[in-house]
Structure 1
């Protein structure tokens, strides 16, 4: 095999000053030809260029071509700058971009420098490639250690001679923001031109971009949006104003994405928000007819959502809305609790539910389920719902109405929705114990009269109340359902044992409950008609013999009856009445024209119950089976009552019913107050039994916490109950600290 020997490259001979000067003259001439944009390459000897550049670099003569290149490029850029000053308006910007595009293209090519010129591709070389090859040797030797690389040098010279030239920079500071302003006013601009300018400025670093473009743009933006907000706030309603603001924000964001640096977006948004929203928050929120109150009243959920999104960008915007809406809800609640609006408890509670549904929808659709808004709404509802002391009673009446007739035909899911809504209102109540008393009374009536539309619904509500109030409330109610069901079997056994035929005289359907199941119901009675008393005595005798050691006590205030009444023209109607109403009506079988006092003496019904009973029978149009003289809505002792022969109804069955029992509220509260004392004492004993010793402050706090699911105990009453327990020797004070209590039992 033949051996080859590679010899080291021999450096050219050292050259003198004359030879170096001659080489530079050749290079200078060719560079000037290129800088003057002579695109024909026939006058360029590329091999000679390469040879002379290599020769000067090898012998470390780089200073002369480097400084010469700086001088040539500086001179050329001075000419470009002077020519640019002769252009106006859009032509100035277009020419500047054209010059910059050519320059940056050269810089990008220089970055990908190669070691040698391709001798086979001479005719396709551009002047940028030629400059690249002429100076590659300087980049590889002299420039690498002593000066800025050639490709960076070109950029620095453009920046210093073009961008930083005072006249050009001042024109840029005006022209570029003016283009943006024209676009804001609705004109169409050359976004590609703007994009190229921004790229050019960013090429020289963020400080150049900020000084030449961003700072002037932000300055004119302040003025633009100051004037825009003042114009719109005078001529637009809140909803339209917010739409325009949202549009402006979207435009600025889209504008930045097209031809600005991303860091400018934050500054522009802050300017829009400051002038369009922050400085007008209160005025917008409370704008007459179109502010948030107008939006609430007119169900403008989109406008509210827009207000929420825009106000959220400000430090105090959402706080203004929350406070305003909370005050509005309280004001609405105060109006709802005015006396003239409390005539119909069911309508009143339904109105509360409708309001709650409306504001739930607003929170969901407009306020993104913001927890702070939910808390503000809940606080406002709790405030005004507790303004009316009769709200617990009204809620119970509403539930009673729904469970007796309002949920007929409803699916299980629909029933649950209604009950859940009621429970939401129930949670706002501070006097939950008052509701419990009324609810238990109404539940008893539904169970005894078998008027509930669904046992499942009854049990579901009891389960929900148990979750809220504890098992103490529901423990006895569970047994009531069982006892009411077993009463049917008891009555069947009674009729079988006595041989009484159905339809043979009055028919009795008794519901037998244990005394403890009647809860707070007081024992009341009246003088039953002889026909009813006979069968009632028969049942009482049967029950006492069949169930040893049990005694029957009749609760006539809880009963109902169906009686057949024949009127003057022989027309018959089946009347569904209470036991009291039955006793009164059956008096007219033996005579007509009875006074109030005669009825009271014959029936022995309490005054309040009797007046309510007579009002239902004589004062309600369409159900007035009795006639009162003199005719009025109030019942007095001098009134006379007559059987109404002219009564008529399109229905055979007529539910006479009883007027709403508002008069029981004071009595119920008295019972609740007594029961509350017992509950406070029980809570104190349970807490002290577990703790053994506790100071007064912590004991009061623990009792309040334990009972708050049922009612809010008064601190003075807690102190009284503590004193009572001390007197009865359940507790005692510590000898050394009178504020410390110890458990004794």
Structure 2
């Protein structure tokens, strides 16, 4: 195999330079210049774009890019200046149309020129850092048309005039406006902003300042808000039709400031139409409009909230301090519930369920409900009214709704323990007299109270229900033990109440008739025989009795009376006439109760089974009473209630308050001990603050009471004072 010598190849440059026609650049440019003229003169159909592109390509390739670029600038500038003259010459409404037409022509021409010079755009221009063809065309249009002295101000004024005319109700050519605005945007953000947006915002501020001043003088609050809302929506719509989207925030800010923010104090306080008027008259639509407009401006909602809070507090204060309203506790609470429902509905329908408004409503109710120290008692009386038997046409579902609303009022109470005290008394009366609407409703409320306040709050209430059930079982056993004797003696129904679970009752008793004493003794023997280590005390002030009575013409009735009334009536089995003093001595019923019982028996029309001499509504100690043998009633069974004030009398109120204060003492002491046990050492102010915080769910303890309880605990050596700092307490383990 013969070896082959390796050869090295070398490429060398041409020995002779390629000579380009010295007039090549000018000849080629003339061809391209002619084409640009034809394009701007709308004669582009006869041009060969492929050939033109090749010519431009070759000029750049042969280093004549600079000539090509400078020729483009001068040619395009001359055509644009011609267009500017045409635009300047356009009169009136034709001005914008001519501007739009020439702008469209320039854009089309620019696109074709850019296609022809694409190679220059991609290579020569980036390398020499010149302006690209399209951008160059826009800049030349900006400088030679838009920013000329004869067009710039005229264009701005024409556009602002069209906006003004549209605001006053004229129909304008929105399509033309959109094209012109888009032209300004295409020329650059700064052009749009400086030549249109800034003056537009400035003029709008003046327009809305004047218009709002005019409206505020002649319109009521509701109408003003409608106009403001309409103007705001118009501006938002205007932006969507022909302005830059970024202008929306700026123009809406102008409307908000001039029409709402600058007048919001005057609007909410407008006589006969402001916020209070809207709240009073449930103007949900106007309130909703005010809320949606005011939320757009700083502090707008807080102004509405402050005025609403002030109004609710003033209204509520009048409600809870009006002596007329206090005469009827049930009506008092119903008005509170109506007021709450009213404002809840406003917040839901008009204020978008705003939590801040709901909190303001709650704090307002808490403020004025606690202005009246009798609110806990009245709320309990309202519940008592709803849960007693005889409520016609009220379903259990409706009672449940009412109880939920009552629980809302209960949450506002600072003295929940006072409510508990009254509620226990009223529940006891309902259970013992059998006047409760339904056990389910009663238990439902106790569940709600337990959820709200915990087991401690309701344990005694639940104990009362347990006693009622146990008493039923006890009575069945007692009846069985009597056997045949049962028909010979009065029928007895006993409720055995556990001391501590039921309200503390006065120990005052009365002298029961002999017939009743006999069966009472039998029950005592039976009960103590089956339960060891217990003691029974008869609460005669809480019982009822059914008596059979025969009147003058042999007319028979069954009288449903209290135990005290039974004791009085049975005295008349052996005599026809008794004085007040004789009745008092025979029965030993406390004077206040005796007078009320006698009033019920002798002074109430249709229930007067006794007659009184002299006849009057008041009971005096020298009055005489007779059996009324002429008594008649269309009913066989006649219920005789006891004349009693629905709410407590002042002495009773004082007594209840005293019992509440006594019950609070151990609770305050327990809280102090709990705190000191965990903290060991604490100063006086912090003890008061923490005790208040712990007990707040039940009541607001008085700092003076806390101080007294601390003193008591120091005396009993649970705490001691620091030897140096007297305000510092130490826990003694």
- What's the TM-score, normalizing by structure 1? 0.88
Matched, 1:576 2:564: no
Instruction: Output aligned runs, 1:629-668, within 5 Å.
Output: 634-641=618-625, 651-658=635-642, 659=644, 660-663=646-649, 664-668=652-656
Matched, 1:392 2:376: yes
CA contact (8 A) 2:551 2:630 kept: yes
Distance change (3 Å), C-alpha of 1:572 and 1:385: farther
Matched, 1:696 2:664: no
Distance change (3 Å), C-alpha of 1:223 and 1:529: same
Distance change (3 Å), C-alpha of 1:46 and 1:546: closer
Instruction: Output aligned runs, 1:495-514, within 5 Å.
Output: 495-499=479-483, 504=488, 506-514=490-498
Distance change (3 Å), C-alpha of 1:25 and 1:678: closer
CA contact (8 A) 1:468 1:709 kept: no
Out of 528, 531, 539, the position equivalent to 1:547 is 531
Distance change (3 Å), C-alpha of 1:149 and 1:449: same
Deviation at 1:200, TM superposition (A): 0.7
Distance change (3 Å), C-alpha of 1:347 and 1:584: farther
Matched, 1:731 2:719: yes
Out of 179, 204, 214, the position equivalent to 1:196 is 179
Deviation at 1:418, TM superposition (A): 2.3
Distance change (3 Å), C-alpha of 1:615 and 1:383: farther
Alignment match, 1:14: 20
3-state SS, counterpart of residue 89 of structure 2: coil
CA contact (8 A) 2:36 2:113 kept: no
3-state SS, counterpart of residue 140 of structure 2: helix
Matched, 1:328 2:311: yes
Deviation at 1:93, TM superposition (A): 0.8
d(CA) in 2 for partners of 1:429, 1:88? 78
Distance change (3 Å), C-alpha of 1:47 and 1:437: closer
Deviation at 1:266, TM superposition (A): 0.7
Instruction: Output aligned runs, 1:58-457, within 5 Å.
Output: 58-110=61-113, 113=115, 133=116, 135-136=117-118, 138-139=120-121, 142-146=124-128, 147-337=130-320, 338-405=322-389, 413-457=397-441
d(CA) in 1 for partners of 2:158, 2:111? 27
CA contact (8 A) 2:325 2:331 kept: no
d(CA) in 1 for partners of 2:686, 2:508? 43
Deviation at 1:413, TM superposition (A): 4.6
Deviation at 1:719, TM superposition (A): 0.8
Alignment match, 1:37: 42
Alignment match, 2:5: none
Distance change (3 Å), C-alpha of 1:553 and 1:336: same
Deviation at 1:713, TM superposition (A): 1.0
CA contact (8 A) 2:39 2:109 kept: no
Is 267-276 or 445-454 further displaced after alignment? 445-454
d(CA) in 2 for partners of 1:370, 1:429? 23
3-state SS, counterpart of residue 167 of structure 1: coil
d(CA) in 1 for partners of 2:162, 2:628? 92
CA contact (8 A) 1:363 1:373 kept: yes
CA contact (8 A) 2:329 2:647 kept: no
Distance change (3 Å), C-alpha of 1:301 and 1:654: farther
Distance change (3 Å), C-alpha of 1:645 and 1:155: farther
- What's the TM-score, normalizing by structure 2? 0.90
3-state SS, counterpart of residue 561 of structure 1: strand
d(CA) in 2 for partners of 1:548, 1:58? 125
Is 438-447 or 466-475 further displaced after alignment? 466-475
Which runs of 5 or more residues in structure 2 are unaligned? 1-12
Distance change (3 Å), C-alpha of 1:156 and 1:395: same
3-state SS, counterpart of residue 517 of structure 1: coil
3-state SS, counterpart of residue 576 of structure 1: strand
3-state SS, counterpart of residue 327 of structure 2: coil
Distance change (3 Å), C-alpha of 1:543 and 1:190: same
3-state SS, counterpart of residue 479 of structure 1: helix
- After superposition, what is the alpha-carbon deviation per residue over 1:197-224, rounded to whole angstroms, capped at 9, x for unaligned? 1211111111111111111211221122
d(CA) in 2 for partners of 1:357, 1:388? 20
Deviation at 1:74, TM superposition (A): 1.6
Out of 461, 484, 487, the position equivalent to 2:471 is 487
d(CA) in 2 for partners of 1:45, 1:14? 24
Q: Report the number of matched residues.
A: 714
Out of 442, 450, 469, the position equivalent to 2:453 is 469
Distance change (3 Å), C-alpha of 1:46 and 1:724: closer
d(CA) in 2 for partners of 1:657, 1:55? 121
- After superposition, what is the alpha-carbon deviation per residue over 1:469-512, rounded to whole angstroms, capped at 9, x for unaligned? 33333223333322221212222222332336666553211101
Which runs of 5 or more residues in structure 1 are unaligned? 1-7, 114-132
CA contact (8 A) 2:386 2:399 kept: no
d(CA) in 1 for partners of 2:30, 2:233? 59
d(CA) in 2 for partners of 1:80, 1:649? 112
Distance change (3 Å), C-alpha of 1:642 and 1:327: farther
Out of 721, 726, 738, the position equivalent to 2:709 is 721
